[in-house]
Structure 1
Amino acid sequence: MEEWVGYKWHEYITRQALGEFPEHAVYLKDEARSLGIVFRAFGGDPALSLVTAEPRHFRLRRRFLHKIAGTHRKFELAWRDEQNLRLPEKVAKFPSKRLNRELYIWLAALAANPAPADSDWFTGNQALVQDVIARWPGLERVYQRLVKQVLRRRPDPEGLSAEEAVREQAIRQALIHPGSVAALPAAGTDPWPVILWLYPALEQGKANGPVTGDEDTQSSPGGLTKKNKRHQAERVEAFDRDQGLMIFRLESLFSWTEFIPVDRAGDDTKEEDAEAVADDMDMISVSNDRKETSSSIKFDLDLPSEEHDDLRLGPGIHLPEWDWRSQSYREAFCCVQPMLAKNAEPAELPEALRRPAKRLQRQFSALKPLKQWHKRQLDGDELDLDACLEREVQNRRGQGAIDQKLFRRCQQSQRDLACLVLADVSLSTETYINNQQRVIDIARDGLQLLSEALQASRDPFALFAFSSRRRDYVRFHHLKGFDETYTSTIRGRIQALEPGFYTRMGAAIRQATKLLGARHEQQKVLLLLTDGKPNDLDLYEGRYGIEDTRMAVQEAIKAGLTPFCVTIDDEASEYLPYVFGSHNYVVIRDPAQLPLQLPKLYLNLTQ
């Protein structure tokens, strides 16, 4: 009972202190898709990802109620950097869902415009507001409505000190008439946050030493990416567990700011709410203390030994990589290593795939080359009996003009196209779908069914798979070349595929472009199967990997190829339109349907 009363009291005090309207809250996860469209429609950089903003600290003169509730120390505010546009996770500042949604739209429009050069936060935001309203006059009414609501909820200058009152008046004047205030007056505390403006990008705090680890990325139910959520950090030597009887500080009873030993290198933590605790912590401490997990065996993604690895075909192929930061290529930066399965045994088609394979073979056999006889030709393979008989009749009747086209010619009517299928076999394909089937198993079935169909249509095709471990080792698995017949040997190579390492997609696409570009067919299709974003260990994350992949796709298009991506990634709509174009990709919502959907996609793409 006491715990319930305490919880209700905390809930009431916090709600009163925040001054928000939770019943009218609008969440970024629900608005992410439409906001992404709005951001790009206003001219925003299509390479930026829409993510949630982490709270930043402010030194404010808080009211008594704020101090009791422990609120108004951190605020989620909008800002952008070279890779992301960051917006608050929810907006509940106004007593209307329409107004809260309009705040999201206004911030997206503001972030879509380039910030004025050589200007500080205060004058820069005023100039940015003026520019947005000048370019999009329809937003002026939205801005005025938001300003009216914001001014009601800002501190009253009469209740502030003299310096703070002057500064608050300057901010109010700048909101009402952007560009009318040249500088922000100084005061002893931070100014109350302006939710209608963009804030400078947060710089990642520096610890006492390097802290390694993967960049956390996870999906929320609405498809919004919550990543790069940074905290203040410190490095400590070790956590002393022998603290005697006093195992916590009494003054920290209402705070999560305690040392919680979260083992970053292991997956055996028992803290179910560790993520929620970490989000609430002001300081995260990192140490090299391995006492708790010293008995656990840890594995790294290391390369297999030569005797257990696949065969290497040649010394490797050096390819360039695009660096979007310098807007230039890094020549011979990546090494693509062709591989051939060493222990792959010839295999037959699995029993579960035989019935759909026969159905696809009947459907695709209608596409195979057919013999067509062209009659009444000047020359050809044999005489056209009908034309010869008609000429004899004309000759006996004594008609003047006699047709000389007395032959017929046989020609093959065939589709002039070639297809190269490139499959992503990175470590993420080890994931199980509905605890039944791995992604790699689904990909294998899809490759086999598509191969059975293409063999029936007699379209030239090749199969390759790839994974990577840094730039100097991009594994390019040879499954079937254009000059090879689809046999049990090829099926064995497909069935021998196993999850590999990471996804350096740009290098793999460039190598596939070279192979497919050497074909003489008029239509050349590069079909990519993947389950996630491009990534690797050596900075091939985020925008760097996306920009390199996009440049590789552009190179393929310039070479006369038709790149098309098939993915099962739920977040693909956030980045694939930028990488492949809005009509050159498809997301398979139910991964189990990939094997059956893949041949249909090929038909739609090539007919």
Structure 2
Amino acid sequence: MLSRAILDPDHGYKNEHILEFVDRFYKVVEEDGGSTKAMVDIAITFTARTRLQSDQLPRMRFENTVIDYRDDNRHMWVFIEENDEAEDYENKQQTKKEELENEGLPPRHYPEWDYNTSTFKPDWVSLYESIHPTGNASDIDAILEKHAQLAKLLKLILDKLKPQRFVRVRYQEEGSELDLDVAIRSLIDYKCGAQPDPRINMSHKHDGRDIAVMILLDLSASLNDKPDGSDQTILELSQEAVSLLAWTIEQLGDKYAIAGFHSDTRHNVRYYHMKGYGESFDDTVKGRLAAMDAGFSTRMGAAIRHAGHYLEGQVADKKLMLILTDGEPADIDVEDEKYLISDTKKAVDELSSKGMHSYCISLDKKADDYIQDIFGAGGYTVIDHVEKLPEKLPMLFAALTS
């Protein structure tokens, strides 16, 4: 306030201390030109005179806060070198904002478990979902052709897993055919004046297999690496494996969906739909699989919770989430390695409490250090030789669901 009163003659302040020290300031300037020592003396005296005893105590509430009238001059400390783009930061922020606006869907907010306090941080993570961009479906057809021999072997195994017989489901109000015995009894009841049973139809269903599957893919930047001794990236091997797995599930007739995710801090978790439960394994879905790319980090807990939202909505005797990843949960805004591991474990426990089973296929050779803490004993497989993933993943699914 004092600085404004000195600079602005029309300040309008009536505080006696302000008015007194404004006069003293101008008097010093007139007498000796405003030396540094004189100004320091004025400042110290003003502080001593106006300081209150309560100033040394922390303020727990801020009421009627006065915003500083002056400009924010922090830009004076931003130094732009000769080859720097002066507007780079602003452009990046504007681009990110436009990308989010173009998505159309508002973010979904999810809690995150903090093991330090044993509490959830409510609405802590912002997750943006979208349909994955599409690519060339013929690339997936080429992958299936490449593994034609493996497909033949898989078909022999899958034929044994397919439900071979039908069972009758009786006492249905609507069904595929009339249940003659029930219909006759209902007719007799009607003739006798009794209330007839309206459930005179029956239907048929496959015996022994009613499964819904969610395939959740880690699409973090590390998938761009090449395993030792391989000329393919982990992403390319994952793409082949998931394509074969989709073909496998199609042969069995199970309900399934495919999604991928990555993250760039808690404010930007990306969730990509590649195949929905209502879609078939056609060129549209193949095109999305063909366009798979990798980047950023692995905030797994929020992605599992969101995928679980879709899996929970399926009507099935068994619900399985398969998670394919090449590393532990991590993000650039989290330094405590245990934090996201414990949150992912909490997300897995949440699925389990709702009747959904989680199973992780890890490509991380160091996974033994943390994976059992997340998925429990028997809830994961570590594949050391990543180049064998296209062969092992469909086999593993067949074994899990047999």
Is TM (by shorter chain) over 0.5?
yes
Q: Does 1:344 align with 2:344?
A: no
Equivalent-residue separation in structure 2 for 1:376 and 1:554 (angstroms): 37
Which of residues 419, 426, 429 in structure 1 aligns to 2:220? 426
Q: Assess if the C-alpha contact under 8 Å between 2:359 and 2:375 holds in 1.
A: yes
Amino acid at match of 2:130: M
- Once the 2 structures are TM-superposed, how far is the Cα of residue 307 of structure 1 from its aligned partner? 8.8
Residue in 2 aligned with 1:518? 313
Which protein is richer in helix relative to its size?
A: 2
2:137 aligned counterpart, secondary structure: coil
Which of residues 150, 153, 158 in structure 2 aligns to 1:356? 150
In structure 2, the gaps of 5 or more residues are 1-80, 181-200
**How far does the alpha carbon of each residue in 1:47-84 deviate from its partner, in whole angstroms, 9 at most, with x for none?**
xxxxxxxxxxxxxxxxxxxxxxxxxxxxxxxxxxxxxx
- Once the 2 structures are TM-superposed, how far is the Cα of residue 590 of structure 1 from its aligned partner? 0.4
Equivalent-residue separation in structure 2 for 1:583 and 1:410 (angstroms): 35
Q: Assess if the C-alpha contact under 8 Å between 2:167 and 2:206 holds in 1.
A: no
Larger deviation, residues 595-604 vs 472-481: 595-604
Residue in 1 aligned with 2:269? 474
Q: Does 1:451 align with 2:246?
A: yes
Change (3 A) 1:315 1:540: farther
- Once the 2 structures are TM-superposed, how far is the Cα of residue 326 of structure 1 from its aligned partner? 1.4
- Once the 2 structures are TM-superposed, how far is the Cα of residue 412 of structure 1 from its aligned partner? 2.8
Amino acid at match of 2:121: R
Change (3 A) 1:312 1:382: same
Q: TM-score, normalised by structure 1?
A: 0.44
**How far does the alpha carbon of each residue in 1:527-569 deviate from its partner, in whole angstroms, 9 at most, with x for none?**
1000011110111640111111111111111111111110111
Q: Does 1:535 align with 2:330?
A: yes
Name the % identity.
30
- Once the 2 structures are TM-superposed, how far is the Cα of residue 310 of structure 1 from its aligned partner? 12
**How far does the alpha carbon of each residue in 1:343-398 deviate from its partner, in whole angstroms, 9 at most, with x for none?**
43433422313332343244324434445366999x994799xxxxxxxxxxxxxx
Change (3 A) 1:362 1:542: same
1:486 aligned counterpart, secondary structure: coil
Equivalent-residue separation in structure 2 for 1:339 and 1:408 (angstroms): 41
Q: Does 1:592 align with 2:387?
A: yes
Q: Assess if the C-alpha contact under 8 Å between 1:313 and 1:340 holds in 2.
A: no
Amino acid at match of 1:526: M
- Once the 2 structures are TM-superposed, how far is the Cα of residue 413 of structure 1 from its aligned partner? 2.2
2:135 aligned counterpart, secondary structure: coil
2:348 aligned counterpart, secondary structure: helix
Q: Does 1:318 align with 2:109?
A: yes
Equivalent-residue separation in structure 1 for 2:101 and 2:365 (angstroms): 32
1:464 aligned counterpart, secondary structure: strand
Q: Assess if the C-alpha contact under 8 Å between 1:364 and 1:454 holds in 2.
A: no
Residue in 1 aligned with 2:71? none
Q: Assess if the C-alpha contact under 8 Å between 2:154 and 2:395 holds in 1.
A: no
Q: Assess if the C-alpha contact under 8 Å between 2:134 and 2:290 holds in 1.
A: no
Amino acid at match of 2:243: Q
- Once the 2 structures are TM-superposed, how far is the Cα of residue 485 of structure 1 from its aligned partner? 0.7
Change (3 A) 1:551 1:540: farther
**How far does the alpha carbon of each residue in 1:560-603 deviate from its partner, in whole angstroms, 9 at most, with x for none?**
11111101111111111111102101110100111111111112
Q: TM-score, normalised by structure 2?
A: 0.65
Q: Assess if the C-alpha contact under 8 Å between 1:419 and 1:462 holds in 2.
A: yes
Amino acid at match of 2:122: E
Equivalent-residue separation in structure 2 for 1:542 and 1:511 (angstroms): 22
- Once the 2 structures are TM-superposed, how far is the Cα of residue 425 of structure 1 from its aligned partner? 0.8
Equivalent-residue separation in structure 1 for 2:330 and 2:157 (angstroms): 38
Equivalent-residue separation in structure 1 for 2:169 and 2:258 (angstroms): 40
Q: Assess if the C-alpha contact under 8 Å between 1:526 and 1:564 holds in 2.
A: yes
Residue in 2 aligned with 1:416? 210
Equivalent-residue separation in structure 1 for 2:348 and 2:169 (angstroms): 45
Equivalent-residue separation in structure 2 for 1:375 and 1:488 (angstroms): 36
- Once the 2 structures are TM-superposed, how far is the Cα of residue 604 of structure 1 from its aligned partner? 1.8
**How far does the alpha carbon of each residue in 1:188-220 deviate from its partner, in whole angstroms, 9 at most, with x for none?**
xxxxxxxxxxxxxxxxxxxxxxxxxxxxxxxxx
Residue in 2 aligned with 1:328? 119
Amino acid at match of 1:494: L
Equivalent-residue separation in structure 1 for 2:333 and 2:96 (angstroms): 22
2:397 aligned counterpart, secondary structure: helix
Change (3 A) 1:584 1:366: same
Q: Assess if the C-alpha contact under 8 Å between 2:132 and 2:288 holds in 1.
A: yes
Q: Assess if the C-alpha contact under 8 Å between 1:345 and 1:489 holds in 2.
A: no
Q: Assess if the C-alpha contact under 8 Å between 1:312 and 1:340 holds in 2.
A: no
Q: Does 1:602 align with 2:397?
A: yes
- Once the 2 structures are TM-superposed, how far is the Cα of residue 500 of structure 1 from its aligned partner? 1.6
Amino acid at match of 1:504: R
2:278 aligned counterpart, secondary structure: coil
Larger deviation, residues 539-548 vs 493-502: 539-548
- Once the 2 structures are TM-superposed, how far is the Cα of residue 327 of structure 1 from its aligned partner? 1.0
Equivalent-residue separation in structure 1 for 2:246 and 2:266 (angstroms): 30
Residue in 2 aligned with 1:499? 294
Which fold has the larger relative contact order, with Cα–Cα distance below 8 Å and residues 6 or more apart in sequence?
2
Amino acid at match of 1:463: I
1:445 aligned counterpart, secondary structure: helix
Equivalent-residue separation in structure 2 for 1:332 and 1:574 (angstroms): 29
Q: Assess if the C-alpha contact under 8 Å between 1:534 and 1:540 holds in 2.
A: no
- Corresponding pairs, count: 290
Change (3 A) 1:375 1:508: closer
Change (3 A) 1:432 1:310: farther
